[in-house]
């Protein structure tokens, strides 16, 4: 039975023809020089998603984030005034990092070296024998980093003068703020390192062309006689960002354990008004490296951080609204993350195999078909950002 047999219409070539159809160069997926361009043109200039407000529930709550692409450790703190701010995790005396814990709660932050002490707003509060430094305390505050929030999601930018976040989201902010993630109070998390370029890793999760080959067992929610290849219903493009509507089988074949777990989880979600009757799921891909997928019982996010030209780190989260109401809900949530890990385990080896093949230099170009339109859109966005950044550099300072 074909995908059109029961009226299912997949995205056509005409719908995405504006993206182009030519092969794209393979080098940007492994070349260190190109990675350096991406690092400077994109990751040090654009908004990068790093967390959620539910991690900072009260004044003094903090989280630390390591951003390898910036060679930076970031301290994100909720201040006494309730505002959330981001600072470089570095004492302004001689550079010692202030915090080693991944998260916690403190009213002040003291350098372990010479006890310079800072407030939750980044101001220097005290330092031994400070009068001998001949500098005002105001000049010794923690270096700040731009931070803005949308739908509960925390974004930072190393750009000293970034485009305002809502403007940069190109019309998606309002849609994101209607999602359960905006009200999330907790989450499950899975972090992994992978020997693959960040784009190659990310691309795996924005195309369904591979589902029937890599996920024939775990992809049952998106495969059926109505839509045997699990292709999306539609794609959308908002500036450098993209969306797709993932078709979900309204009558999936699920195992008894899945029925027990997801059945109870779905009922709990319905009681809280989190989901409606639609089975389709919306996917929001925010340039450069974050996506959010809405499912009937939770919201799933994935951020892929670059580490080098051929290494990246993924942070997968499932966000929940409210605490576990009972043992059944706890089981459903744990089972959801276990299922996500199982599905991801099927992807990792093939992504790394692709990286090894590309890094060999055997291919000069790679090919994208219609159902990989979002991959091509990301490539185009990266290319355009790099070219725009190069054009802004002084002739002698530009990287060829």
Q: Read off the pLDDT band of 213 (50, 70, 90).
A: low
**Same domain, yes or no: 26 and 140:** no
Average pLDDT in the 261-271 region? 51
Which of 127, 161, 195 is a domain's end point?
Answer: 161
Q: Read off the pLDDT band of 207 (50, 70, 90).
A: confident
Structure tokens given for 145: 């980093």
Question: pLDDT per residue over 40-67, tens digit each?
Answer: 999 999 999 999 999 999 999 999 999 9
**Same domain, yes or no: 90 and 237:** no
Question: pLDDT per residue over 313-357, tens digit each?
Answer: 999 999 998 888 888 788 888 888 888 888 888 889 999 999 999
User: How many residues are there in the chain?
Assistant: 400
pLDDT at 271: 44
Domain of residue 137, CATH code: 2.102.10.10
Q: Read off the pLDDT band of 147 (50, 70, 90).
A: very high
**Same domain, yes or no: 338 and 305:** yes
- Please report whether residue 1 resides in a domain: yes
**Same domain, yes or no: 228 and 151:** no
Q: Which helix (H) or strand (E) holds 61?
A: strand 61-67
The label of the residue with tokens 């639609």 reads 278
- Residues 41, 44, 48, 51: what is their CA dihedral angle, to the nearest 10 degrees? 160
- Residues 238, 14, 381, 245: what is their CA dihedral angle, to the nearest 10 degrees? 50
Q: What is the DSSP letter of 43?
A: I
- Please report whether residue 166 resides in a domain: no
- Please report whether residue 24 resides in a domain: yes
**Same domain, yes or no: 186 and 297:** yes
For residues 306 and 38, the answer to whether their CB atoms sit within 8 Å is yes
**Same domain, yes or no: 278 and 395:** yes
**Same domain, yes or no: 17 and 129:** no
Residue 110: domain span: 47-161
Which of 161, 181, 215 is a domain's end point?
Answer: 161
Which of 137, 161, 185 is a domain's end point?
Answer: 161
**Same domain, yes or no: 376 and 389:** yes
- Specify the higher pLDDT residue, 375 or 231: 375
Distances (CA, A) of 34 to 27, 128, 320: 8, 46, 38
Does the pTM exceed 0.85? Answer: yes
């Amino acid at each position: 039975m074909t995908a059109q047999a029961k009226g299912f219409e997949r995205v056509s070539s005409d719908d995405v023809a504006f993206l182009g159809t030519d092969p794209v160069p393979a080098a940007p997926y492994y070349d260190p020089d190109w990675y350096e361009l991406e690092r400077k043109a994109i990751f040090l200039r654009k908004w990068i998603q790093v967390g959620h407000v539910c991690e900072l529930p009260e004044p003094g709550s903090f989280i630390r984030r390591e951003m390898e692409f910036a060679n930076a450790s970031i301290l994100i703190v909720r201040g006494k005034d309730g505002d959330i701010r981001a600072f470089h995790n570095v004492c302004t005396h001689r550079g010692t990092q202030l915090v080693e814990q991944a998260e916690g709660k403190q009213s002040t932050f003291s350098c372990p070296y010479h006890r310079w002490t800072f407030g939750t707003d980044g101001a220097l509060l005290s330092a031994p024998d400070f009068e001998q430094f001949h500098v005002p305390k105001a000049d010794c505050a923690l270096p700040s980093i731009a931070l803005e929030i949308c739908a509960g999601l925390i974004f930072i930018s190393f750009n000293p003068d970034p485009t305002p976040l809502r403007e940069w989201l190109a019309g998606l902010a309002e849609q994101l703020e209607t999602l359960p993630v905006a009200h999330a109070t907790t989450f499950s998390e899975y972090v992994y390192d992978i020997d693959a370029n960040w784009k190659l890793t990310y691309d795996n999760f924005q195309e369904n062309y591979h589902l029937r080959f890599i996920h024939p067992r775990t992809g049952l929610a998106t495969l059926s006689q109505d839509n045997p290849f699990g292709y999306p219903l539609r794609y959308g493009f908002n500036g450098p960002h993209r969306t797709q509507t993932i078709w979900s089988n309204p009558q999936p074949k699920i195992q008894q354990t899945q029925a027990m777990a997801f059945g109870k989880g779905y009922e709990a979600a319905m009681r809280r008004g989190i989901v409606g009757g639609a089975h389709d799921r919306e996917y929001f891909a925010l340039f450069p490296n974050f996506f959010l997928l809405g499912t009937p019982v939770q919201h799933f996010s994935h951020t892929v951080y670059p580490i080098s030209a051929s290494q990246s780190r993924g942070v997968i989260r499932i966000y929940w609204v409210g605490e576990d109401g009972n043992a059944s809900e706890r089981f459903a949530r744990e089972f959801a993350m276990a299922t996500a890990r199982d599905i991801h385990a099927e992807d990792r080896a093939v992504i790394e195999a692709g990286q090894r093949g590309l890094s060999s230099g055997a291919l000069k170009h790679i090919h994208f078909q219609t159902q990989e339109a979002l991959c091509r859109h990301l490539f185009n966005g990266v290319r355009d950002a790099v070219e725009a950044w190069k054009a802004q550099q002084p002739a002698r300072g530009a990287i060829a």
